[in-house]
Chain A
Amino acid sequence: MDNAIVVEGLKKSYGKLQVLDGINFAARRGSVLGILGPNGAGKTTTVKILSTLLKPDGGRAFINGYDVVRESHKVRSSIGLTGQYAAVDEYLSGEENLEMMGRLYRLSNADTKSRTRELLRQFDLVDAASRQLRTYSGGMRRRIDLAASLIASPSVLFLDEPTTGLDPRSRLLMWDIIKELAAGDTTILLTTQYMEEADWLADEIVVIDRGTVITQGTPSELKARVGSEYLELIIAEGSDFETAENVIMCDELYIDRPRRSISVATRNGVRELKEILDCLEKARIEVESVSLHRPTLDDVFLTLTGRTATAENDHGQTEKKEKAKQ
């Protein structure tokens, strides 16, 4: 048994709303599993079931071989949970929060004290240790929240959107922490809405949407499924965009007229780039800029669901244009 987390056909509904509709996945011991999905996909619900806070309507889940419903007490001793919203005590200091958690995890006084000191140091919170959490910044609060879930050195750690709401610097810091943790033998299940985050942190990604698993695999497997890299060319204002569209000899073009952008899927970027630029030069079309894009998990999502994962990005404007080779 080398799977620390096993999920089989998990179902959950709130009234008529089917939030989880039979999801399956497993996480190897010591690996990082990323659950990726948009708002309302069912990420938090999954985490709550796995951390024994919520009972599933159907299916089973095991943590370290223990059933989360029937053996919840054994599960609780070996997990750490950092929920989507900080669950720390505002009126206690950082140190007091950690010591309280240590005692509630039933560590001895001595272990609690030494783990507290250790974690405060590791999370750069020594200077703020005796300040009440009310005075902490969002990033510090996130860190103490994570530290609290690590006090008993759990073998399985749940992180529900650990970087949502953090500024870029704090996010990078959090990523470092998670990477470091993953380097040990802690199994981590983290949820995120950010493709980049799952890509960077996870060994295995499960993409869920509306309570079902759309796909799963390693970041590179998922990217391979959407195809390869693509080149994006911006055509200069002075040149005719229509002509440019027609001279580029390629199977798949993505055209974005308002931005005067043409994207071309490519397998061997540099050689193809040269050919395309040659063609355009012959047709006297000036190129303003060229960029090479690696596929992101955004593209995975788009390809698999036909819609975007987050409202913010603007793939919606891109129309796909199939063009037969002449």
Chain B
Amino acid sequence: MNQISALVTKVTPERHSAIYWFLSDSWVLTRRSIKHITRNLDQLLSLILMPIMFLILFRYVFGGAIDTGGTTYPNFLLAGVLVESLAFGSSNTTVNIVLDLKRGIVDRFRSLPMNSSALLSSHVMADLFRNTISSLIMLAAGFVVGFRPTADPLEWVMVFGLLLLFTFAMSWFCAILGLLVKSVEAAQWISFLFIMPLTFASSAFVPTDDMPTALRIFADNQPFTHVIEAMRAWLVGTPIGNAGWLSVVWCVAITLVSMPAAAWLFRRQTQISPV
């Protein structure tokens, strides 16, 4: 060993405001999470493979049989699988929070003078990064199977804006799930349990018009449908109706509820005073 007694080079922490430290801690941990994405490509792959499979299956198996009104089926389908891939991407937060809690690294973080809820926001930030990448892949895959967007630059900006807003909302919601379940397996099926019904009971793969009444009422009024409709309208020029502002309202509402709920659950689980 090389003179460890000389090891006590004294260093002292810097002084800044609480807000500064929250942002700094979040940034440090976000960088960590983003490195996880690039170094663990299996995870990224497994999450975009499913939507790509849906894209191909629906396009070629059901494509001819579905009446999509004015637009071609690939044009109709893309917004649906895109939103599905965003939802799956966000569910990474659930799994990663469970992994962190299980691996004991959270214990180390909690023994540091850091703001430990920065850990939650770092996973959400990483989802934004991951979903941006997977969206680009989905758009490219869509192009291969016949998707032909008509969006102008402003509409592209709106598509990506909504994409990030939706990811942000879903990731905070998925953070709650991650704090409620105890194992990685449970984390995987619980997000599946939310995402599958919400994508199928929406206008992702088929127009809602032909659904049974009860299902149609649900599908027409749930957030996934609004987000899908808005994206579809901007991408390929289908009628937008109220989907534009409704999708934004939904995302903001989900965020406003989920963010404090997740922070509260996290504090309750990791604080030193569970009485």
Listed in ascending order, the chain A residues whose CB lies under 8 Å from chain B are: 48, 51-55, 69, 72-73, 76-77, 79, 81, 83, 85-89, 91-92, 96, 100-101, 103-108, 111, 114-115, 118-119, 121-124, 132, 148-150, 152-153, 173, 176-177, 180-181, 183-186
A and B contact pairs by CB, cutoff 8 A, 11 listed: A73-B113, A83-B107, A85-B104, A87-B105, A91-B39, A92-B35, A106-B21, A132-B39, A180-B3, A181-B4, A181-B7
Q: Is the CB of A104 within 8 A of B111?
A: no
Listed in ascending order, the chain B residues whose CB lies under 8 Å from chain A are: 1-5, 7-14, 21, 24-25, 28-29, 31-32, 35-36, 39-40, 103-105, 107-114, 272-275
Measured CA separation A223–B5 after assembly (Å): 29
Contact of B104 among A83, A119, A181 (CB under 8 A): A83
Measured CA separation A83–B105 after assembly (Å): 10
Q: Is the CB of B105 within 8 A of A76?
A: no
Residue of B nearest to A72 (CB): B272
Residues of B within 8 A of A132 (CB): 39
Measured CA separation A268–B32 after assembly (Å): 62
User: How many CB-defined contacts (below 8 Å) exist between A and B?
Assistant: 126
Residue of B nearest to A99 (CB): B28
Known: A52-B111, A76-B113, A81-B111. A87 touches B104 (CB 8 A): yes
Measured CA separation A118–B1 after assembly (Å): 12
Q: Is the CB of A107 within 8 A of B108?
A: no
Known: A100-B28, A111-B11. A87 touches B39 (CB 8 A): no
Measured CA separation A186–B8 after assembly (Å): 8
Measured CA separation A105–B112 after assembly (Å): 6
Contact of A106 among B32, B36, B113, B273 (CB under 8 A): B113
Contact of B11 among A104, A107, A173 (CB under 8 A): A107
Residues of A within 8 A of B109 (CB): 104
Measured CA separation A185–B21 after assembly (Å): 29
CB distance from B31 to the nearest CB of A (A): 8
Beyond A87-B104, A107-B11, A173-B1, 12 additional pairs, beta carbon < 8 A: A53-B111, A72-B272, A76-B111, A76-B112, A76-B113, A100-B29, A104-B25, A104-B29, A105-B13, A107-B12, A107-B14, A180-B7
Q: Is the CB of B14 within 8 A of A108?
A: yes
Contact of A51 among B13, B36, B111 (CB under 8 A): B111
Measured CA separation A177–B1 after assembly (Å): 7
Residue of A nearest to B27 (CB): A103
Residues of B within 8 A of A173 (CB): 1
Q: Is the CB of B32 within 8 A of A87?
A: no
Residues of B within 8 A of A92 (CB): 32, 35
Q: Is the CB of A177 within 8 A of B35?
A: no
Residue from B21, B39, B104, B107 having most chain A Cβ neighbours under 10 A: B107
Measured CA separation A91–B27 after assembly (Å): 17
Residue of A nearest to B105 (CB): A87
Known: A53-B110, A104-B112. A153 touches B8 (CB 8 A): yes
Q: Is the CB of A115 within 8 A of B9?
A: yes
Q: Is the CB of A180 within 8 A of B8?
A: no
Residues of B within 8 A of A111 (CB): 11
8 closest Cβ pairs, A-B complex: A180-B4, A87-B108, A106-B13, A76-B113, A81-B111, A184-B8, A111-B11, A55-B272
Q: Is the CB of A54 within 8 A of B272?
A: yes
CB distance from B122 to the nearest CB of A (A): 11
Measured CA separation A185–B2 after assembly (Å): 17
Q: Is the CB of A89 within 8 A of B114?
A: no
Known: A91-B35, A105-B13. A53 touches B112 (CB 8 A): no
Known: A91-B35, A104-B28. A122 touches B274 (CB 8 A): no
Q: Is the CB of B111 within 8 A of A176?
A: no
Q: Is the CB of A106 within 8 A of B35?
A: no
Q: Is the CB of B112 within 8 A of A122?
A: no
